Amino acid sequence: MTHPPEFLRRHRAAFRVALALASSAAAVLPAQAQFSLAVSPPRFELSTKPGERVREVLELTHSDARSGAYKVKTADWTLRPDGSVHFSDELLPGSCRPWVAIERRELSITPGRPYRYRFEIAPPADTPPMECRFAVMIEGQEPAAALGMPIALGARIGVIVYVAIGDVAPVLELAETAVTTVNGRPTPVLKVRNTGNAHGRLAGFLGGKDADGTALEVQASNTPIMAGETREIALVATKPGDTETAVAIRFPLAGSGKLEWGRKGSMAVEQRFAP
């Protein structure tokens, strides 16, 4: 199996932190909080049919020496253009949270013994084909102390759940290309349009050459592209045979090949990127 480059791992980690940690004070502060809970898996991608029930289990591991008290609830969420996530306790238009049942709203977890937390989704029999999206939010009942901070912060972990109800799928197409600044560095991006009725992600490598004729491998970020939206997907360049280390690109960059999406979808790319 090919491992993603370090830059992509950091990009995905940042996305997961955005999904996982939120605070009423500032979104980045709880990343340093002493929040002693590990959750697995970090995301669910499920499928069911109208009128059928689907059940799943989260494994919660509390690592503090004392038992941990937690509150659990569901939330709606939206993915902003910059990749950050906004959680909403209020029901958003078209929310499927009324179909979601969680095991309990408060629980105590014994240290060192994983707690298997159950939830289920039961779409009504007349539900049209759609993608149901929500988050299971786990929050400590006591504020977590952040290192170097004079106040306690409320840390939360949000587990993202996608449920494909009926016959739904993404349909991804390349709208345009560009070079934008990502983390202070010029970065080639694909602007990808999703005309389907479910989220999708790009996967795979493109072959590339930079201005010096150096051969590169170019991988797309796996940021989700929601149904009905167009999103910028960053490309990361690495040397062939070394997918762990991202390299700076000497523009222009020529990239070609095919990226996969969904079960059978693919996108041919033959582009020249220049600032």
State the pLDDT at residue 241: 87
26, 140: one domain:
yes
Closest residue by Cα to residue 182 from 271, 255, 84, 82:
82
3-state secondary structure 107-118: EEECCCCCEEEE
pLDDT tens-place string over residues 33-73: 346 889 999 999 999 999 999 999 999 999 888 888 999 99
Domain hosting 261: range is: 172-273
Alpha-carbon distances of 72 from 108, 112, 114, 137, 253, rounded to whole Å: 11, 20, 16, 6, 47
State the pLDDT at residue 153: 45
State the pLDDT at residue 151: 44
End-to-end CA distance of the chain: 33
181, 147: one domain:
no
Decide the pairing of beta strands 253-261 and 185-194: unpaired
Q: Domain count of the chain?
A: 2
Task: Compute the residue count for the chain.
Answer: 275
32, 158: one domain:
yes
123, 72: one domain:
yes
State the pLDDT at residue 35: 61
State the pLDDT at residue 143: 61
In a domain? residue 1: no
- 15-24, 98-107, 258-267: least confident range: 15-24
147, 181: one domain:
no
161, 200: one domain:
no
In this predicted structure, the answer to whether residue 32 has a pLDDT above a threshold of 50 is: no
pLDDT tens-place string over residues 139-178: 988 765 545 544 444 578 999 999 999 999 999 999 999 9
Q: Where does the chain have alpha helices with state H?
A: 6-20
15, 136: one domain:
yes
State the pLDDT at residue 6: 37
136, 190: one domain:
no
Q: Of 149, 165, 181, which marks where a domain is finished?
A: 165
8 A C-beta contact, residue 217 and residue 231: no
Tell me how many degrees the CA angle 73-13-170 measures, rounded to the nearest 5: 75
Average pLDDT, stretch 243-252?
91
Average pLDDT, stretch 259-272?
94
Q: Of 165, 181, 196, which marks where a domain is finished?
A: 165
**Confidence band for 29, pLDDT divided at 50, 70 and 90:** very low
In this predicted structure, the answer to whether residue 252 has a pLDDT above a threshold of 50 is: yes
In this predicted structure, the answer to whether residue 30 has a pLDDT above a threshold of 70 is: no
State the pLDDT at residue 258: 96
193, 160: one domain:
no
Decide the pairing of beta strands 152-153 and 144-145: antiparallel
- 16-30, 48-62, 172-186, 229-243: least confident range: 16-30
How many Cα atoms sit within 13 Å of 49 on the Cβ side?
A: 1
Complete edge-to-edge strand list for the sheet that includes strand 100-102 = 37-40, 54-62, 115-121, 100-102
pLDDT tens-place string over residues 191-212: 999 999 999 999 999 999 999 9
State the pLDDT at residue 144: 53
Average pLDDT, stretch 129-135?
98
Here the tokens at position 220 are 């797309």
**Confidence band for 243, pLDDT divided at 50, 70 and 90:** confident
Cα 74 to Cα 77: distance, rounded to the nearest angstrom: 10
State the pLDDT at residue 118: 98
